[in-house]
Amino acid sequence: MTRICHIEIDDTGLPTPTPEIEQERRVAIFDLLEDNSFVLPDRDGRAVPSGPYRLALAIREGRLVFDIADEGEEKVGEFHLSLGPFKQVVKDYFQICESYFDAVKKLPPSQIEAIDMARRGIHNEGARVLQERLDGKAEVDIDTARRLFTLICVLHFGG
């Protein structure tokens, strides 16, 4: 029961995402809901409900907000993360994604594969940063962190 059962992205005020970004978002949400690991540790000596959880992601006042509720939509926690540690890796990820999307249209498979390997490396770095930032707030496995990082990228750059 330590998983996310529903995810909501608050993109209020953000530009409409490109078709590629919207597709990445849909795939990340689908994959995340299919398989994830999300554990909230006990806080201040109090046990936290074990889930499954409903997660709402947003950017408010320049911070990444994780708003967490139980299945019955009762709030069980909220935490805010500074976007600073994500800025460079998100920027790098968007640049490599742009190169990848362009490459798919006109380059041979060997070159596309090389760009995709670089893209995966940057994506893994973003997931690692997220896991570090979540330390003490939530525990996620690497696959969950990767999918959440994709969603953070969508929010961070506003589509």
d(CA 149, CA 81): 13
pTM of the shown model = 0.89
d(CA 27, CA 57): 16
Give the tens place of pLDDT for each residue, 96-148: 988 988 999 999 999 999 999 999 999 999 999 999 999 999 999 999 999 99
Residue 42 near residue 29, CB atoms below 8 Å: no
Give the tens place of pLDDT for each residue, 17-43: 888 788 888 999 999 999 999 999 987
d(CA 21, CA 35): 21
First and final C-alpha spacing in the chain: 32
Residue 130 near residue 143, CB atoms below 8 Å: no
Task: Quote the DSSP letter at residue 83.
Answer: S
Tokens of 128: 């690692």
pLDDT category of residue 45 using cuts at 50, 70 and 90: confident
pLDDT at 159: 42
